[in-house]
Amino acid sequence: MIMTRIAPLILFAAVFAVLCTTAWAEPGTVHHLRTADGLLQSRLETLPTASQPGSAVAAAGPVQYGPVACDDFTGQLLWTVNDPVGMCNNTAVSPEGNWMALGITLNNQRAESYQTSSGVPLWTYPVGDGNACVALSQNGEVYALGHTHYLSVFHANSGTPLWTYDLGASSWAYTVVVSRDGARVVVASKEGTTGRVTSFAPTGSTPQWDHTFTLPVDFGWYGLRISPDGSRISANSKYTGWVLDAATGNPIWEVQTNNTEAPIPLSQDGSVLAIGSNAAGTCKVYTWNTAGQTYDLLWTYTFTGGFSRWCSEVEVSADGNTVAAGSLEFITMNSYDGHAAVFDTWGTGVPLWVSSAFGDLVGEIAISDDGQVIAVGSWGHLDNSTPDLRVYERAGSTPFFTINSPGSINSVDMTPDGSKIFAGGKHVHNRTFGNGGDAYAIQIAGDLPQVSVTLTPINPPIVIPPSGGSFSYNGTVNNDTTITQNFDLWVLVTLPNGTIYGPVLGPLDLSLPGSASITRVRNQTVPGGAPSGLYHYTAYVGSYPDGLADSSSFTFSKSGDGGGPAGGWACTGEPFPGEIGGPSASRRNTALPEEVALSASPNPFNPTTVASYELRAASYVSLKVYDTAGCEVATLVNGWREAGVHEVAFDGSGLASGVYLVMIQAGDYTQTQKLILLK
């Protein structure tokens, strides 16, 4: 996520603390536009010199992306957004990873909402001239948007605001945050020299509390964060930072930040934080002293290189064990570089590693809760010669996934588990005059199987009548290597309103020998109760539900709503290995007998799902649900069952969100199915 915090780039170290406040610039220097109260609207524009293009699109090259060799993780670009005139400088992804929010500024300014499975926005909300800062809670239940002098709250699946709060005609909404559980929405605003941090419940526009601060006339808020557990809030201007009690808004700590343009990140309970300084080029890490009720300095790291340097970004993992920092290095009056350094919080302040040659300011860093995945966004080289988005594992300085965008990366957000990244920025380099923007949705997973899938509809175009019907398609899975690949296969349906339904097939636990390929003819039933409109039918292979090695899709439409239940999406036909009636393929040499099939729908679910199983012969059945620690949380079936199809409901309303395992034992057969509970 990003706020309007890209400050003036000072071209001489002696004047770092005195920032330009005029609205003009000589050719080739940074150009700033300010409101009457000194608000910096953009640090992204420069005036073209004779050698600089005046067109954003003409100047930009093609995006380049790809995985880099890595032991533990693999990255995949899911989709991109390319705006011809607006800058994609504000990105957010919901904690469970199903929703993404995008704020577009400069031209055609608006907020957009996406499901992670599709690069087509579910809705667009126009905003006035200025900012469009966005934030999301779990499952997209709360979508917060700060725009001009308003705070608007939505649900991620609807572009109609639940409510809007007017901060005052002369105020400006700098940035917003939402607690992960959606219980608190906080906005930082400024009017004149008065800064405000205001907290709301998601259900209404009456402030829970409102706290005021005195800010410099020329500078507003550069950071606003809420700890992952929702207990503490950090807010900072350029020269002062505060940590607040989230319940009351009362400050519990104040610190001089020594010229910072980065937010102050917080660990899970706010007990670890970091501060970067432009004036000193330092990253300082603090830990909470319970006895003294203050933060104590753990260590300080100072970036080196060039005739001067900034610590331009800092981040802390939720578990408090990892710190990352970025820099801007002034090599000459007109040349720059940037570095990213990663630290063990409880070490001595010596980096675990440093990654160099970013070419310019490192302005965005996101870290997974456990510190194992680290995404770094930068302005990049002016000549576009190196990647400006790099994703690392904590263990080493070689990125396992990179994107070399046409311009600069100005916003990066990541899910707590590190599985999804949403990054965005300007379509041309931040030091180049122009506009346009790009955003990138990225999937991160452990080692993914090297397999591919292809769906080919039979007799397209497919139009289902209002009363319902069916269609057929060929599904082909290929092993793209010469060694056996073990993987999952599943199919999801995207409904006309953007909701994901399914899996309607799988997830199937499959294994293919080296260079093998299998093709099956499948038949998909569409119930009469399904709504009218355009559908996307998508097959995935990888590690269910988040590890996507490949996908393939096609569209079909339904001409009307025939009424009745919307369930009954049966997928039949030639079985894949492991399905009822299919050849018993093995995964890791474990046979999959044909007398039992277990599935659950919906999956992911909240809070109930239905487990279905089919017995080809009568048997004693045990069907139980376990958490990932192996503890039993529910017994669904424990007794004799006749042959046939059986269904049993599982209610997870008393359980926490996460992964669960449902296991069926019938005779000598055992099968386990993942369940994803998302609240």
Q: What is the pLDDT of residues 227-244, one digit of tens each?
A: 999 999 999 999 999 999
- Looking at the fold, whether 318 and 259 belong to one and the same domain comes out as yes
Q: Give the total residue count for the chain.
A: 679
Tokens of 385: 């010669």
Poorest-pLDDT segment among 216-225, 327-336, 607-616, 669-678: 669-678
Q: What pLDDT sits at residue 362?
A: 98
Co-location of 541 and 658 in the same domain: no
- What mean pLDDT is predicted for residues 16-35? 28
Structure tokens at 629: 């620690």
Q: Is residue 19 part of a domain?
A: no
Q: What angle do CA 388, 373, 184 make, to 5 degrees?
A: 95
More confident residue, 666 or 20: 666
pLDDT score recorded for residue 587? 34
Q: pLDDT digits over 469-514, tens only?
A: 999 999 999 998 888 888 999 999 988 887 788 889 988 989 888 8
Same domain, 291 and 432: yes
- Please give the full DSSP string across 428-492, using - where no structure is assigned: S-TTSS---EEEEEEEEEESPP-EEEEEEESSSSPEE-TT-EEEEEEEEEEE-SSS-EEEEEEEE
pLDDT given at position 613:
86
454: exposed, middle or buried (Cβ count in 10 Å: 0-12, 13-18, 19+): middle
The overall average pLDDT reported for the chain is 85
What pLDDT, in 10s, does the model give residues 306-321? 999 999 999 999 999 9
Q: Are residues 452 and 436 in the same domain?
A: no
Q: How much is the pLDDT for 641? A: 78
State how many domains the chain has: 3
Residues 6+ apart with CB under 8 A from 99: 93, 113, 114, 115, 116, 136, 139, 140, 143, 156
Does 122 lie in the same domain as 178?
A: yes
Specify the higher pLDDT residue, 44 or 88: 88
Tell whether 518 is covered by a domain.
yes
User: Could you tell me if residue 259 is inside a domain?
Assistant: yes
- 176-199 burial by CB neighbour count: b if 16+ within 10 A, else e? bbbbbbbebbbbbbbbeeebbbbb
Mark whether 572 and 607 lie in a shared domain: no
Is residue 375 within 8 A of residue 366, CB to CB? The reply is: yes
Among 417, 444, 471, give the residue marking a domain's end.
444
Residue 632 and residue 570 in one domain: no
| Lowest-pLDDT range of 439-443, 458-462, 596-600 | 596-600
Instruction: Specify the DSSP element, H or E, that contains 421.
Output: strand 420-426
One domain for residues 524 and 472 = yes
For residue 602, the enclosing domain spans 595-679
Q: Which CATH number belongs to the domain containing residue 303 in this structure?
A: 2.130.10.10
Among the ranges given (201-210, 229-238, 439-448, 486-495), the one the predictor scored with the smallest mean pLDDT: 439-448
Q: Does residue 35 lie in a domain region?
A: no
**Amino acid (1-letter code) at residue 97:** G
In a domain, 42, yes or no: no
- Answer whether residue 70 is part of any domain: no
Predicted confidence (pLDDT) at residue 177 exceeds the cutoff of 80: yes
pLDDT tens-digit readout, 562-617? 877 666 788 988 888 766 433 333 333 333 334 466 888 888 888 989 988 887 77
Question: What CATH number is attached to the domain comprising 556?
Answer: 2.60.40.3880
Whether 117 contacts 93, CB under 8 Å = no
Please check the confidence at residue 202 and state whether its pLDDT lies above 90: yes
Indicate the SS3 state at residue 139. helix
Specify whether 256 is located in the same domain as 298. Answer: yes
**Cα gap 493→417, rounded to integer Å:** 25
Residues 564, 428: one domain? no
Q: Would residue 474 count as lying in a domain?
A: yes
Same domain, 304 and 277: yes
Whether residue 154 has pLDDT greater than 90: yes
User: pLDDT tier at 663 (50, 70, 90 boundaries)?
Assistant: confident
* Percentage helix, strand, coil for the chain under 3-state DSSP, each rounded to 5: 0, 55, 45
In a domain, 676, yes or no: yes
Nearest CA among 107, 162, 154, 157 for reference residue 134: 154
Q: What is the CATH number of the domain that holds 675?
A: 2.60.40.1930
Examine the domain organization and report whether 522 and 423 are in the same domain. Answer: no
List of residues 6+ apart from 323 with CB closer than 8 A:
272, 274, 283, 285, 314, 315, 316, 317, 342, 343, 344, 345
Domain boundary among 422, 444, 466: 444
Domain end call among 398, 427, 444: 444
CA 226 – CA 197 distance, rounded (Å): 12
